[in-house]
Amino acid sequence: MNPDPTPSPAAGAASVRVRRRAPDAPSPADADALCARLYAARGVASSADTELGLAGLLPFDALAGIAEAAERVAAALCDGAPILVVGDYDADGATGSALAVLGLRALGATQVDYLIPSRFADGYGLSPPVVEAAARLAPRPGLILTVDNGIAGVAGVARAGELGIEVVVTDHHLPGETLPAAAAIVNPRRPDCGFPSKHLAGVGVVFYLLAAVRARLRAQGWFGSARPEPNLAGFLDLVALGTVADVVTLDENNRILVEQGLRRIRAGRCRPGIRALLGVAGRDPARATARDLAFVAGPRLNAAGRLADMGLGVECLLTEDPARALAIAGELDGLNRARRTIEREMQDQAEALLADLHLDGTALPPGLCLFAPGWHQGVTGILAARLRERYHRPVIAFGEAGDGQLRGSARSIEGLHIRDLIAAVDRAQPGLVGRFGGHAMAAGLSLDSAALDGFKAAFEAAVADELGECPPVRELVSDGELPGALLTLATAERLRFAGPWGKGFPEPLFDGSFEVLGRRIVGERHLRLRVRPAGGGTPLDAIGFGLAEQTNEIGRTAHLAYRLDVNDYQGVRSPQLVIEFIDASPTVIAASAAPSAGAS
């Protein structure tokens, strides 16, 4: 059971169910034929395209700036200069920071440390105060390597230059109009970068930089019997976790990185910390999937940065001691439980705010901008994501940051570039927005609390200009009806490991009519059904997370949109439907064009 399930998109906003267009072919007779059909519908034409071997990775030299970055890092390494990794306080930043430290040490660096700015005291990125704190460390760094940040750190890089500290930036966020004056910048989203995949996570950029540094050191004759050349593929478990947790698009290159990392996790060749993060949630690493990284390991790692200090998360990933890793993972699990409690309280308050405005699903403004005193700024991003899913609107949720400042987390819907929209508001009303940054689907910003009302009006107007007064209706895209003969454990197991599934390469979602044999509420908020395919077949269980409120709407039959999953209860595995949408009666669902899976 998913311990941190995404709320069903059924509640609160209109949805249209459509079927993904698949190649003209007979109904699949077995799980292999079904997977071939699913791959084809996602733009993968042949079985060779699903092997996802390391040989298919894009070469590192296609990244702009990577030669200069590798030169500077290799020089610092060879000179024995202290290198400081400055990361971000989310799971991508934590995995990327751990990868940078471990990778540089494996390459022969003798003085490598890391610094993760505090979400609460420092804010995001390489700011001048963070640089000044770095300069006070002993030993004083000769080189700062940023991970998952830095592209917006113009002032921070300038301050480092004043203090005589060189900076190499690795990032994947959108650049602003001015780039920092760093010694080198590696970011696939640089305007001059021709790297075919623009979707690398921060940890993926670090992996590519380490490969380039290794190649440069190899050319210099650095490696030998006393200093063996490391196999960087051994760190792909970290790359997989950070890539999935950051919800970047799983184009072919990212799918290779994730799949290779998952294979190492399943084979027992992963970091003790990743094994522990899965273990405290009762998950078997030998059966790990991208969903486990997204909804089990990722949230527990993120909890450190949301409620405490992400240094705890990095230490969990760095330690070689399984007992210490398990102890830290237990702390992170406790923080995640506390985060869930805070999140539920904030979501209840947010729903009350919307109710007080007498809003309903047809009268919502095109964008939601919300704040309540006491909201925890470390949890506003999750709150914004929850509300975005429920109401299918771009959402910005603000928390108090002290000194009269608010810090907001924005989450968007497809078709609205949230970072660019905030930039447009900033251009139209200079001084209204403080610092901001991010990408198409997520962004962060700061405001003076007195500016909240003005920003809210400007934000709603800007969203209306982009989307119109009626934002796009969500499409719940299905892969069609699954024959009753394939609603089996064998099919569920095959689909489980047929990914990695994720953004841009969606996990299979099916729909069909079922006879409802029984129903009950579990865990107060979740709906459990016992169903049988309408055309006949073996009864099986179905679970709808967060769908308890629809219990009384279901009759003797229901049309379900669902994922076919494996329910592992007390060591007994059985097939289970995970319900994403419920119609009380069968619905005619139109066809939808298939997306391209490999495009970047």
274 vs 553, residue with greater confidence: 274
What pLDDT sits at residue 524?
A: 79
Q: If you ran DSSP here, which 8-state letter would residue 596 be given? A: P
Name residue 135's amino acid: A
Residue with tokens 């809003």: 359
Residue 108 pLDDT greater than 70, yes or no: yes
Query: Pick the residue with more confidence: 589 or 176?
Result: 176
Amino acid identity of 540? L
* CB 184, CB 68: distance < 8 Å: yes
Please give the average per-residue pLDDT across 564-571, as a whole number.
87
Q: Which of 16-20, 190-194, 327-331, 332-336 has the lowest mean pLDDT?
A: 16-20
Beta strands at 83-86 and 143-147: parallel, antiparallel or unpaired: parallel
Residue extents of the structural domains in the chain: 15-47+479-592, 64-333, 367-469
pLDDT digits (tens, 9 = 90+) for 356-393: 765 555 567 889 999 999 999 999 999 999 999 888 89
Amino acid at position 391, single letter:
Y
3-class SS letters over 119-157 = CCCCCCCCCHHHHHHHHCCCCCCCEEEEECCCCCCHHHH
Domain range 15-47+479-592, CATH architecture: Beta Barrel (2.40)
What are the tens digits of pLDDT across the range 6-51? Answer: 444 444 444 556 777 665 556 778 899 999 999 988 988 755 556 8
Identify whether 533 is preceded by a cis peptide bond (ω within 30 of 0). Answer: no
Local confidence band at 523 (pLDDT 50, 70, 90 cut-offs): confident
Q: What is the pLDDT of residue 11?
A: 43
Predicted confidence (pLDDT) at residue 587 exceeds the cutoff of 50 = no
Q: How confident is the model at residue 258 (pLDDT cuts 50, 70, 90)?
A: very high
- Is the domain spanning 367-469 CATH 3.40.718.10? The answer is no
Question: Tens digits of per-residue pLDDT, 300-317?
Answer: 999 999 999 999 999 999
**DSSP per-residue codes, 454-518:** HHHHHHHHHHHHHH-SSPPPEEEEE--PPPGGG-SHHHHHHHHTS---BTTBPPP-EEEEEEEEE
Chain-centroid distance, C-alpha 347: 21
Whether residue 497 has pLDDT greater than 80: yes
Residue 509 has what pLDDT?
95
Calpha distance 286→268 (Å, rounded) = 7
Say yes or no to pLDDT of 512 above 50. Answer: yes
- Whether 586 shows a pLDDT value over 60: the answer reads no
What count of other Cβ atoms lies within 10 Å of the Cβ of residue 258?
30
Residue 211 parent element (H or E): helix 202-219
Of the candidate CATH numbers 3.20.20.70, 3.30.300.30, 3.40.50.10310, 3.90.1640.30, the domain formed by 64-333 belongs to 3.90.1640.30
> Is residue 74 a contact partner of residue 217, using CB atoms and an 8 Å limit?
yes
- Find the range with the poorest average confidence among 255-264, 294-303, 485-494, 561-570: 561-570
